[in-house]
């Protein structure tokens, strides 16, 4: 496991660059997923614009104006924050930056670095606007296509997605939040569906404001959402953020890390040896006995059972011979690596959506298909995934099972509705883009 990029570079390349401790592995892959989503969304929006399905909007902007005091001040604040925290991480004493997450969310930082970088950002803004200054500022009409707005859409999705993911995770793990309210500031523990719902609502308002075809935007986003979800799950697997499955009693955890085949007796012995771990928190003892099928012998054992050594949450029991101050725990019994399974499933489903993106010509049907396969995928995974159960209509499902079921039903209902109300084939003419 690589809690942050420092451990990844140390293991893979043999270098120890302390500044990489500030880059959380989960956050790194979340950033990669947003970049990939933006690339795919841009590509699809351009295709739909060329086919005449999406149209540009004209807006008037003032050009040739010097930088305003507000713009200079805003850039100074951005620069100050970067310098105060990011540059401060390099310049400050190691005792203050040993825990990167705690440092980022604390009030500690480097004032000199913040002021210097803030002034630099302010100067660059003034200089850039001054180069474009005209003797007399003028108003010009600019034509903007939907794919030109992908940057704004991505930022909106990022901000509202993270807020929604954290809020839903807090509601899902309310007992944990009550015990330690500071967990709401942690970058670990994010619920995908919370992010999806909140980001979708924000983007709907944005699309309506800028007259972007809602169903065509959804169809363009469907493959991007599936790919980014799968990529984000790589971060869960690499960091070991707790998004794992139930115990697999057919394997056992080795003291120094790693797994080996085991027996039911060894599983019961592990329950007794590590009773304190199993009796605390929400770990439980739910398990299955699933050995590797003979026809899959060529696959490594960790694909069926993994102990998540050095996980970012420091969950589990101490690893033998581990001397690091942090991240020296692993699970006493290996679990199903459900985040890895989701990455594989999502890549397959991304390929499915990508293959059908030109064949489903009724606006909104590709997005409806995405809702169905996404809900089905998550519902299946929840059967072997550890999660808090809730009381719902006399049943005890997990929050994800409820939402994934609703997504599947919503997708199915949307599919039927769109196909019934569609008024016939359309033959959009390609539009010349300027």
Q: How would you write the pLDDT of the chain (434 residues) with one tens digit per residue?
A: 898 888 899 888 999 887 788 788 888 898 899 899 999 999 999 999 999 999 999 988 888 899 999 999 999 999 999 888 878 777 776 666 666 666 666 778 888 889 999 999 999 999 999 998 888 888 888 899 999 999 999 889 888 888 888 787 777 666 666 776 665 555 555 566 677 788 889 999 999 999 999 999 999 999 999 999 999 999 999 999 888 999 999 999 999 999 999 999 999 999 999 999 998 766 778 899 999 999 999 999 999 999 999 998 889 999 998 887 788 999 999 999 999 999 999 999 999 999 999 999 999 999 999 999 999 999 999 999 987 777 767 777 887 888 899 999 999 999 999 999 988 665 555 555 55
DSSP H/E element including 404: helix 399-421
Closest among 349, 371, 353, 357 to 47, alpha carbons compared: 357
Here the tokens at position 153 are 């859409």
329: which strand partners? Answer: 318
Angle between helices 365-381 and 338-356 (to 10 degrees): 160
Here the tokens at position 184 are 């709401």
138: which strand partners? Answer: 63
Closest among 222, 227, 204, 229 to 366, alpha carbons compared: 222
Q: Which residue has the tokens 């390929």?
A: 351
259: which strand partners? Answer: 253
């Amino acid at each position: 496991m690589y809690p942050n990029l420092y451990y990844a570079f140390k293991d893979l390349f043999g270098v120890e660059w302390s500044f990489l401790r500030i880059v959380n592995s989960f956050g790194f892959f979340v950033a990669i997923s947003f970049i990939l989503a933006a690339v795919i969304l841009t590509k699809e929006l351009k295709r739909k614009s060329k086919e005449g399905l999406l149209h540009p909007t004209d807006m008037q902007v003032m050009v040739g104006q010097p930088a305003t005091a507000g713009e200079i001040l805003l850039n100074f604040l951005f620069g100050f924050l970067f310098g105060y925290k990011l540059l401060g991480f390099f310049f400050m004493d190691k005792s203050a930056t040993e825990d990167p997450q705690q440092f980022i969310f604390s009030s500690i930082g480097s004032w000199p670095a913040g002021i210097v970088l803030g002034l630099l950002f302010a100067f660059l803004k003034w200089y850039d606007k001054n180069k474009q200054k005209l003797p007399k500022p003028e108003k010009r009409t600019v034509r903007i296509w939907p794919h030109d707005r992908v940057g704004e859409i991505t930022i909106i999705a990022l901000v509202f997605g993270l807020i929604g993911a954290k809020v839903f995770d807090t509601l899902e793990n309310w007992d944990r939040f009550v015990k330690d309210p500071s967990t709401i500031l942690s970058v670990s523990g994010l619920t995908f569906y919370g992010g999806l719902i909140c980001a979708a609502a924000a983007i709907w308002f944005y699309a309506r404001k800028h007259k972007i075809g809602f169903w065509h935007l959804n169809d363009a986003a469907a493959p991007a959402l599936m790919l980014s979800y799968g990529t984000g799950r790589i971060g869960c697997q690499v960091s070991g953020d707790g998004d794992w499955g139930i115990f697999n009693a057919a394997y056992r955890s080795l003291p120094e890390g790693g797994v080996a085949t085991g027996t039911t007796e060894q599983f019961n012995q592990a329950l007794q040896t590590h009773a304190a771990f199993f009796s605390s928190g929400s770990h439980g003892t739910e398990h299955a006995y699933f050995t590797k099928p003979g026809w899959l012998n060529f696959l490594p054992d960790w694909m069926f059972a993994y102990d998540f050594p050095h996980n970012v949450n420091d969950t589990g029991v101490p690893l033998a011979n581990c001397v690091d101050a942090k991240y020296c725990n692993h699970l006493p019994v290996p679990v199903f690596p459900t985040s890895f399974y989701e990455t594989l499933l999502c890549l397959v489903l991304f390929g499915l959506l990508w293959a059908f993106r030109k064949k489903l010509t009724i606006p909104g049907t590709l997005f409806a298909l995405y809702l169905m396969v996404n809900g089905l995928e998550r519902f299946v995974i929840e059967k072997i995934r550890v999660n808090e159960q809730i009381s719902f209509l006399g049943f005890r499902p997990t929050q994800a099972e409820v939402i994934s079921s609703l997504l599947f039903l919503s997708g199915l209902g949307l599919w039927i509705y769109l196909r019934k109300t569609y008024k016939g084939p359309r033959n959009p003419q390609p539009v010349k883009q300027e």
